[in-house]
Structure 1
Amino acid sequence: MPAEDSREIGLRTAQDPGLRPPSGRGHSIDWFKQVAVMSNPLRPNNRFARNLDAILEALQGAVAIATAADDTAEPTLLGANQAFVLASGWAKADVKGKRLSDCNSERIDIRPLFDRKGQQQHWLVIHQAAPQDTASEKPGKRRRKTSPGRPGTKGLGIKEPDTGEEADFRALVEGFPNGVLVHRDFKPLYANEACARRIGFDGSAGLLAEPTLLPFLPVELHNRALRRQRRILAEGAAGPARVLRCLTAKGEPFWVEAAEKRILWRGEAAVLVSLSDVTEQVQMRRSELMLREAVDNLSDSFVLYDSDLKVVLTNRRFHELFPFLPTQQAIAGKPMQELVEASVANNVVTDPRVWRDREQFIADFIADRLSNEACVSEDAWPDGRWDTVKEQHTRSGGFVSVRSDITERKRAEFALRDQESRLEQALAERSAQLKGILANIAQGVTVTAPDMRVLLVNQGFLDIFSIPGELGRPGVHVSEFVRQGLRNEHYPRAEVEAAGGEDAFVEQRLAVIARVTRSVDQRTLADGRVIEIRQQRLPDGCIVSTYNNITDRVHTERELQRQREKIYQNEKLTALGGLLAGVSHELNNPLSVVIGQAALLESMAPDSALAERAMKVRNAADRCAKIVKTFLSMARQRPAARSAIQINDLIADVLDLVTYQLNTTDVTITCDLAPDLPLVAGDSDQLSHILVNLFINAQQAMLNTPLPHRLVITTSYLAASRQIRILVRDSGPGIPEEIRSRIFDPFFTTKPVGHGTGVGLSVCHGMVTAHGGSISVENAASGGAAFTVLLPAGGMIQTEEPEVAAPRLHSQERQILVVDDEPDITSFLVEVLEAAGHSVDVASSGQGALTNLAGQDYAAIICDLRMPHLDGPGLYGAVSETKPHLLDRFVFITGDLLNERTGRFLKKTGRPCIEKPFMPDQIRSLVEEIAARGEA
C-alpha cells in the first residue's frame, strides 16, 4: 500500500526501516539503478547500524551498503542483509568492514549513491546470485560489471538532511523510489514522498492528515486487510509480498506489490509497508492473459517459436491436431526439431520426401522455415484432411505458424475439378459428335478467326459453293473463298465492276465480313440458287457463319405469294360481283321492258325501216342484258358459255367500234397480228369488253402526254405454254412501281374524281381469269404501260344453236294469271300473251293473286319471286294448301338468282324460272308448254 511522503519524521528504532524492491516475473535488476542518493555520510554508530540492518533486511535480494572515508580510500561494507551474507558465503559478523575487493567481482554489481549536490557518498552493492537477479536477466546475455564512479546524471533533489540519527535513516528511506509507509490500525504514521505521490497527494503531509488508509483500498478488501494487520501485530509474521489493487485519492485504480513487517514505532508496535508500483506489469500481465486466452480459443492451430526455434506459446487447437506432443503446459521451450521428429514418427506427414530420407527431410523442413520470411502452403493429412499453413517470421527473430482447416474447401475443389474433368470429357465427345454432324449435313458451316483465317469448314460449305477440298483446311484466308467465288461466277459481274475490279471487290468483301456482328442475308448465285447466310460474332472475336440453300423455299414462298394475291384478287372480284349482281337485278326489270317492247315493235312494224330500228334497239338492249348476265356469272362463279373465237378478227371488230373515239385524240394505232393463230374458246362479248377497256384506258393515259400518241397491239402464239398472247402497249407515262400491284384492285383508280370508278380493270381481270387466262402489266422499255393478256388456245367449245324464231302457235284461248309488282313488266306480259290469243288477269301482289285464285283456276300462273308483302314462295305455299292441283302451273320470273333462299326454293319445287330480261317468244313457248301439261 502506498504511503504519503514526509520529510519531517525519521525512523526511531532499529526495526523501523523496511523496503522491498519489486519481485516476481517481469522485474529486473534495473530497479536498483533507481535508488536515490543519500544526502550525507552515514555515521557509524550502533543505533545506526541496527537501523541500517533493519532497512537492508526489509529489502528483497542480496543487498549491502559500502562507504569510504575519502576519495582515496577503498570502500568497505557498512552492512548487508541476510541474503547478501548467504550469497557471499561470509559470516554475518564478518560482513561489516569487508573491502569491496574481497567480494567476487564477477557476481556483484556496484552502484554509486550521490547526494543532491552530485557528490558521491556511498555505494549500493548487489549480489548477482540473488534469485530475483537471475530471473530478471535474459538468457544468453552476459552481465556487465559496473565499477565505482560518478554517473552522468545529477542527484534527485532530496531536501537537505537533518542532523542526528533519525535524519540519517530518514535520508536513506526518502531516497528510495518505492513507497514506504508506516501505519497502526491503518492510521498513517509515516510515508515517504514516493508513496504520497502515487496515491495522489502533493506531499506526505496530505496523506498523514487522512484519518484512515482504508478508503485507498477497495471495499471488498477492508475486512481481509484488518484481519491481516491484527495477525502481523500479534504474531509479527507478515508472509510473502502480495499484489494489491489500490485506489488513488481520485478513486482511480492502480496495483502495487506490498511487503509488510512488524516494527516498533516510537515504542509501540506498527506495520511497515514497502510498496512497489506494478500497475504496468499487472496490465501487461492481464493483456498477456487475454492474448493467451484469445489465441487459445482460435479455431486455427497456433504455435509461436522464439529466435532459437523453441516453443513459446501454443493453443488448444494445436494440441488437438497433434495429441502425441507434450501438453500445452509442458511444451514451452521444446525445440522445433523435436516437434517435427514426433510428427514424422507418428506418420502425420504426407510429404513424399519423408520416405526417401527422414533425417534430410527434417533438416530441409527446418531450413525452409529459417530461410523464408513468409510462406503460405497447403498440407494434407493421412486421413484426408487439408490445412492451409501460414508461416511468418516475427521482428524479434521468432517464428509463428498458423494452420486453418480447409478440408471442406478442398473437397469442393476436388468435386469441382472432377466435374470439370467430366465436362471436358463430355465436351470432347460432343465436339467429336459435332464434327461428325457438321461433316455430314448439307448446310454449310464456317468458323473464322479474328485474323480472317478459317478455323473450321465443313463439306456442306464446299459443296454449296463448289470449292475445292484443299481450300477447306484450317488456316486458309477468307480471301481465297472470295476469289474462288469469282472464278465460279457466283458474284454479279456488275457488282464486281462497280467495286473497281476483282482485287478491290475482294477487299470490299473482307471489310464487310470484318464489320459483322449479327446478320442474316440472302445471296442469289449465277445459276439461280438462293443461299441464306447467317453470321454471328462470338465474344472472342470469331465469326460463325452458316449457309443454307433456300432456293426451293424461296420459290415456294413466291408461289404462295402469287397464289395469295390471286385468291385475294378473286375475293375482291367476288365481292365486286356481289355488288354488281345487286345492281344487275335492278337493271333487269327495265331491260326486260326495253327488250320486250323492242321485240314487239319489231314484229308489229309496218315497214322494214321501222323494224330495222326496233331490231337495233333490241340488239343494244340485248347486249346490255348479256353484260349484266356476265356480271351475274362472275358473281355466281360459273363459266360463261364458250364459242370458237378468232382473236385477230375480234380485235378488228373492237377497233371498228373505238377507232373514231381514238382518232379524236390523235392516237396512232399500230397492229402487229400474228397470222394463223389458233382459235380461243371464250365469250366474245366478255373478250370484246376486255379489249375495249384496255384501248380506252390507253387513250386516257396518253391525254396529258405530248404527241405522238401511239397504241401498239400485238398478238402471238406461245407454243410452249399453248397460249395466245395479246399485248397492248401505249406511249403514256406508265404505271409507278408502288401502285402496280394494286392496279387490278376493285375501285382503285389513278384518275381524277368523276373520270373513273376503278371497276374496269378489276372486271377485266375477273373475265380473263374466268377464261383460264391471266392479265398483267409492266412498264415498257420505250416508255408507257404494256398490258399482256394470256388466253389458252383451243379448249372445250360450246356451240350455240342459232336463234330460230319460234313459230306462232294458234292454240285455244286460255286463262293466264300474271303476278308482278312492276307495272311495266305486267303490261309487257299482258300484251305478249294477249297477242297469242290468251285471256290475262293481273295481280300486283301475292295477296291479290290469292283473291283471283279464290274465284277460278288458271291454265298458267306467271309469278315474280321477289315482291313486297307476300312474295312468290309465299304465294306458292298458300296455293299448296287451298288448290294444290294448281302448283304444276306456276312459272316464276326473277332478276336475281344469286339469293340462296331463291335457289333452294326452285330446287325444292322444281318449277321453271325465266331470268330477266326475257324475250316474248320465251314467255309464249313456256306458257303453251305449261298449259298443255295441265290439260293433259
Structure 2
Amino acid sequence: MARKQSESGTTEDFLKLSSQEKAQIVLTGLGSPEQIPSLCDRYRISRLQYDDLADTFIQCGARGLDELGATQGMLGQHSDVTTQEFLSDAIEALSEGVALFDDDDRLVLLNRKQREHLDPENAVLRIGGDLFEMTRDLTAAGSMIAPEGTSAEQYAELLTEAVRSCAQDVNLVASGGRYLLGSARKTPLGGRLITIEDVTDRHNTEERARSMFVDALESLREGVALWDDDERLVFFNQKYLKFVDPEAEYHHIGQPMTEIFATMAEQGALQKPERIPAQEFTHSLLNLVRNSAQDVEVQFSQGVLKCSASVTPLGGRLVTLEDITETRKAELAQREADLLLHKIVDAFPANFLVSRLRDGHIIYRSPTSQKMFGNIESLNDLVRNPKVRDSFLAGLLPNGAVDDFHTRVRTADGSVRDLMTSARVTDHKGEDVIVSSTRDITDQLGIEAELERQHEIAHQNEKLSAMGGLLAGVAHELNNPLSIVVGYALMLQETISDTKQKRQIERIGQAAERCARIIKAFLAMARKRPTHIQACSLNDIVTAALDVSGFGLKSSGAEVVLEFDQDLPLTGLDPDQMIQVLINLISNAEHALEPLGAEGVLRICTNHHPDTGQVGLDVRDNGAGIASDVLARIFEPFFTTKDIGMGTGIGLAFCNRIISAHDGGLTVQSGLGEGACFSILLPIRECPPSDAPGIEHPIVNVGKFRVLVVDDEEGVTSLIRDILEHQGYNVHVCNSAPAALDILSGTTFDAILSDIKMPGLDGEGFLKEIQNINPLLVDQMAFVTGDAMSPQVAEFLESTSVEHVEKPLTPTDLTELVHRLCQAKGRVSND
C-alpha cells in the first residue's frame, strides 16, 4: 500500500525513477487519465511533477527530439539527464508501437516499434503528418491490408474514425501476413495516443485452435450452430446445414436468428402446423432457443430433428440438432403395429377382462369393460361377495373354463347390473391368467319383466275395453230417454209458475243432468281424448266439483281449505271431464279422511308455473297415506284397495287417462302416515272463451224458418219438435232417412237435424244422398247423436264438416245449433 504523497512530492523520490518508469507513468496517464492520482501516489510524486513530465514529453515530441537541449521545468532538478535521452530511451524501450497525435490529428511522436509495424520502409509516417492521409497512403502502398471490397480511402476513413472514438482492440492486417491489434486513447491535452501490438503468433495459435475446434465440430453427428448475444449467426457446421438448409439459402454469418427462422418457415424448410400463424410459429421457435429448451422435436422438410439450446459462457446461444427421422419412423411403424392390434382388440364389442389367477389383478380391460366397470384394479373390486367368487372359481378351475355364470355387480355409475360371464384360464408370461367375457343381461331381464307387465296391462286394457263397450252401449240406450227427461224438465221450468212445482221439476232436471254427466264421463273414459275444449279456470273447476261432491266431506266434519291462485290464467280444457277428475280425487280423499272425523283436512291448491307454461292443481289430504307397493300400481285399471263393493278400481285410471288426453300429467306423493297429495300439471292452451251456458241468442221472427228433424226414436223427435216450436220454429219430423228424402224432394228447409245410428239408411248414407240431391243443403245440416264415442261414428264426424251435438240434449244446445244453421244459410237477421 503506497503512502499518501505530499502536495509537492520530493525531488529525491523523483530522481530515483528510471527512464522506463517515467515513460510508463506518462503513457499510462495519457491513456487513462483517471489513473493519474493512483500513479502519483504509487511512485510518490506530486501532480505538478507529473504534469511537468507529461508536458515535456508532448512538447519535446512536437519540436523534435534533436532540437531540445535544455531541461524543462522539473528537469532543472536533475541536469545530468537530458530530456532527449530520457524520452528516447523511454519510448524506444516499450514493446508496443506508440504514436501520439494532437487534437488536429497530426503526428506528434512515434517510436521505432510503431514504424516497424506500419512503415518499415520509412516512406509514409512523418512527424506532423495527417492521420487520414498517412493511413490512406499506407493502405495504398500495401503496408496495411484493407478488408475485401473496401478501398484505401474508405479504410482510412474507418480507421480515422476509430482513433477519434478511442476504439479498443481494433484488428489490423499488415504486409507479410502479420496481424496487429491497435487501441486508441484520449490524452489530457486533447490528443490521441495509439498503441499497436503485433499479435501474429497469438492469432496463428488461435486460428490453429479454431481450425481444430471447427474440425471437431464438423466431425460430430449432430448439427451445431452458434449465435452471439445479439442473436446473430456466428458459426454452423456442415451437418447443421445439411439438416436445415442443404442449399445454404437461409444461413449466412452475421444474419439475425429472427430473419433466418422466419425465412425458413416461409419457404417451407420448417413444417409449420396449419392452425398456427407463421409469426406465432417463428416466435415459438425463438423462445425455444432463448429459454434453452432441451430435446424438442421439430418437423423440418428433411425430416424430424431433436433440438436443444444452451447458453454459452459469453452469453451466446448454442443450438444442436440430431436427426431422429429414422428412429421416429421405426417407432411409428411399431406404434402402428401396436395400434392395429389394439384397434382389433378394442373394436371387438365384447366386454372382457384379462386378470391374474393368483390375485385377481387386472392386466387388460376392453373399452366396453372400462366404460362399465371403471378403473377397477382387481376382480375382487368387481365381485365383492367372497361366496360368489368362490363359486365362480369352483366352476372355473377343474376344467379351466366356465360358461354363463350369473352374477350381480355394481358398475361405475353406481347401478347394479345382472351379468352373465364366461371365462377361460390361459398362460401369459409364465403365469396363469383368466380371460373373461361378460354379457349384460339386465336389459334382457328388464324386457322380460316389462313384457310380463305389459301382458298384465294388456289384460287389464282388455277388461277396460270390454267395460268401455258395455258403457258405450248403456250410454247410447240411456241418451235418448235422458234427453227427453232433461229437455222436458227444462221446458217445464219455464212454463210452470207454481214455486213448489217449479222447484220439484228443477230437482228432476238436476238429477237428469247428473245422469247425463255420468254418461258423458263414461263416454269420456272410453274416448281417450277431450271432446269440448273451451277456455276454463282451474279455480272454477274446483268450485264446480265441490258443489257436487263436497257434501260427504262436510257431513264427516272434515275441513276443506282452498288456496286459489287468483292470477291463474285460463287454459283450454274439457270442463265436464276435468270436473269428473276432481270429483274422483275428492271422493278418494273423503274415503281417506273418514276415520279422522273433524281432524281431517282436505287442502286444494291451484298454482301457475310461468317458467314452464303450465298451471297446476294439488289435492292434499292428511289421511293414513299409501303404502309404497300400492303406490306403484295406483293408476292401474281395476286395481283397488277398497273392500268388495266399495270400489271398482277405475276411478284413478279414468283420471289418469283424462289428464293424459289433455297432454298433462297426474302424479301422487305419499307414504304411510304422511297423507297423500295428487298433483295435476296442464299446459296453458289459448282457446276462445265459450259463451256462458244458458245464454240464448235472440232470433227475431223465426216462425218463417222450417226445420226438418230425422230420428228413429219418436220420443226424441217429439222432444226436439216441442223445444223448437216453443222457440217459434216451424218443425217437421220423420222417423227414417228414406222418408226424409221423400219430403226433401218437394219441400225446402232452413235446417236439417238427423240422428246417425238409424235402421236402414243411416246418417252417413243420408248425408251422401243429400249431397247428390242438392250439395247446398250440406251447410244447413247437423247431426244429433248419442253414439259419438263409436270409432266408426267418431271417424265419420272428423271426416265431415257437418256440425253435431251429443245427447242428452238441452234446449239451449239445440236452439243455438239451429240458430247457427240458419245463420249459415244467411237468412237470420237481428233487425
TM-score (norm 1): 0.41
Relative contact order (C-alpha < 8 Å, sep 6+): which is higher? 1
Q: Which has the higher helix share?
A: 2
TM-score (norm 2): 0.46
